[in-house]
Amino acid sequence: MASDFLEIIEVSPRDGIQNEQVLLSTGQKLDLIGRAIAAGLRRLEVTSFVNPARVPQMADADAVCAGLPGGAARHIGLTLNARGFQRAVAAGLDEANFVVVASETFNRRNQGVGTFDSIAALAGLKAEAPHSIALGVTIGAAFGCPFEGEVPLARLMQVVEGVMAQAPAELALADTIGVATPRDIAERVAAVRAAFPDVPLRLHLHNTRNTGIANAWAGIEAGVRRLDASLGGTGGCPFAPRATGNIATEDLVYMLDRSGIGTGVDLDAAIRAAEWLEAQLGHGVPGQVMKAGGFPAPRAA
């Protein structure tokens, strides 16, 4: 097996709360970000720059960015179009994550234009992007679409090729609706790595059908060293019917700790942050290790 460090990108401040009934305040979001950083997470998706009429949970994106702590962590903003990207630049973020959806129907529902229109928009902003901001791309619904069903590998690779022509800083494959299995992960990661061996690859996995953590392991075995996760297993997509949470950060940390793969994240601090987030949301969250605790149990002081 591979090298012994894996980077976790914490997405709870964005994906984790964007589908919740409870709207967290700007202060609560900054508290969440602070707790994640204190637990050792060093790269976070802090918000998305989207239409507040469609995603009211992200309406205070600019205020969140204005309140971010400096220093320890890299902050990412999700964008669907040129306007969102310009807001991410203006907010002074370290990175923007531009989304292109592998299926035509979902891309139109998510961002109002076709997949290759989004890639054309990516080309436009890549041309004018300042050096101060890294521009990565996530390909949504890379393993299946809620509207079209199966996304053929050949279609995914067409989209990957279109995106890679713009030389993104990183490429993420997202299982937006949690339909992938470990075999799908192995197949698609291998195909992308064969075609583009140099691009840093990242996976964004939802646990909708309980395959999330198995898929994470399949990704690691396939050579992926960047995984998205969300404290408490929170998450969902406002534009995908019946979407549910991301893989839980603390569950992933537990598995990796016990497997000898470092993350820099403190498991107990991550569990406490997940518990705090659960209390803010006012309902139980899916994470499992936060219910059972780590192993061996930390000795009482």
Query: Would strands 74-79 and 43-49 be described as parallel, antiparallel, or unpaired?
Result: parallel
148-187: which residues touch Zn ion (CB under 5 A)? none
Cβ within 8 Å of residue 19, ≥6 positions away: 57, 235, 236, 237, 238, 243
Q: What angle do CA 177, 181, 187 make, to 5 degrees?
A: 110
Least distance in Å: CB of 206 to Zn ion? 6
The β-bridge partners of 97 are: 78, 136
- Phi and psi at residue 140, to the nearest 5°: -75, 160
Least distance in Å: CB of 235 to Zn ion? 5
Least distance in Å: CB of 85 to Zn ion? 19
Q: What angle do CA 204, 116, 75 make, to 5 degrees?
A: 40
Residue with tokens 């050792």: 40
- The distance from CA 45 to its chain's CA centroid, rounded to whole angstroms, is 7
- Choice between 126 and 209, CB closer to Zn ion: 209
Residue among 8, 93, 171, 237 flagged as catalytic: 237
- Choice between 54 and 258, CB closer to Zn ion: 54
145 among known catalytic residues: no
Near Zn ion by CB under 5 A: residue from 8, 10, 13, 15: 15
- Choice between 208 and 263, CB closer to Zn ion: 208
DSSP string, 155-209: HHHHHHHHHHTT--S-EEEEETTS---HHHHHHHHHHHHHH-TTS-EEEEEB-TT
- Choice between 15 and 184, CB closer to Zn ion: 15
Binding-site residue total for Zn ion (CB under 5 A)? 1
Span from 11-19, 83-91, 260-268, 290-298 in contact with Zn ion (CB under 5 A): 11-19
Span from 9-17, 73-81, 156-164, 271-279 in contact with Zn ion (CB under 5 A): 9-17
Span from 14-22, 41-49, 96-104, 156-164 in contact with Zn ion (CB under 5 A): 14-22
Least distance in Å: CB of 188 to Zn ion? 17
- Which residues carry out catalysis? 237
Give the interface with Zn ion as residue ranges (CB under 5 A): 15
